Amino acid sequence: MPLWVELVLRVGGVLVAFLTLPLLVGQAEHKVMAHMQGRLGPMYAGGFHGWAQLVADGVKFVQKEDITPREADRAVFRLAPAVALVPYLLVLLVIPLGPNDLVGQPLDIGLFFVLAVVGVGVVAVLMSAWASANKYSLLGGLRGAAQLLGYELPLVLAAASVAMAASTLSLSGIVAAWQPWWLLWQAPAMIIFFVAGLAEIRRPPFDMPVADSELVFGYMTEYTGLRFAFFLLAEYVGIVVIAALTTVLFLGGWQGPFADDQLGWLWTLLKVFAVAFVIIWLRVSYPRLREDQLQRLCWLVLVPASLAQLVLTAAVRIAL
């Protein structure tokens, strides 16, 4: 197969995943929350089991007027939603779906690339907060920056633990090196990574930057129409990315109970949607953390625990 054809197929596959998986997660969130909270609308929109709820939301956003505040920095204000989306698209390029290079772009330093790109999300938050010329947006942006910069540390340390265990920074290499017993000794790292990932994408109970009871909607207060929809899409893509990284790093990726490489992609997707369900479930089940609780969890619990996990991983590697 010519190189350019292979490149087009790989990039096209990633774009399809980028455009479809977040929509499936969004539809699943509507249904899960409707069942857990007794919401009637999402179960009846369009007829059969509310299949048209997400379509209705899309039509609503398209019809809304696109407003830019008079005092806003227009260029930065309009660019921020795109900056929120692009890092997740780049991350999806290097996350392996299955064995035999079933990945957009295999990298030997894939984990390093992912952690570096995910950190760009704080730039979009600060851009939207500052450019909106709104005090609630600015407060939400400052909260978001403090949260993202704090939880970046346990996220990186937890990922470093599994990379040390696998002796590689390649995401495909980590999956290949993964063993079922890692579910025990890497379990603390998995929990730390998952919790820090939730904070990175600002999902409840870590949604202080968009606390509607205090900040209207935080750094997204002044956004309307499709620009607001892009921020929501970035949130759903973030769910897919965190679920996929948790799957690849800690749950064995494409490895399943049967030794069949042809079904590897299916095992990966099943695990990703299972983790995404847990993310949705946590949104419904837990109240928002206060700012002091959020920072205390990061610096007094997750960071020391991630350092202890690194020591444990180093000891096990030396022993083996």
Per-residue pLDDT tens digits for 113-140: 999 998 888 888 888 888 888 888 888 8
Q: Please, which residues bridge with residue 284 across strands?
A: none
Q: What is the rounded distance in angstroms from the CA atom of residue 11 to the CA atom of residue 318?
A: 40
Q: What is the pLDDT at residue 193?
A: 95
pTM listed for this prediction: 0.91
In-domain check, residue 117: yes
pLDDT grade for 297, boundaries at 50, 70 and 90: very high
Q: Decide if pLDDT at 273 tops 90.
A: yes
pLDDT grade for 260, boundaries at 50, 70 and 90: low
Average pLDDT over residues 78-104: 86
In-domain check, residue 44: no
In-domain check, residue 8: no
Give the C-alpha distances (Å, rounded to integers) separating 84 from 89, 99, 131, 186, 307: 10, 30, 14, 30, 30
Look-up of token digits 């997400």: 54
Report the largest interatomic distance among the alpha carbons of the chain, rounded to a whole angstrom.
64
Domain limits for position 152: 69-319
| Total residues found in the chain within this entry | 320
Domain total of the chain: 1
Of 29, 67, 66, residue with least CA distance to 50: 29
Q: Decide if pLDDT at 104 tops 90.
A: no
Higher pLDDT, 137 or 37: 137
In-domain check, residue 247: yes
In-domain check, residue 199: yes
In-domain check, residue 58: no
In-domain check, residue 17: no
Which range has highest mean pLDDT (10-24, 44-58, 74-88, 234-248)?
Answer: 234-248
Of 182, 159, 18, 152, residue with least CA distance to 97: 18
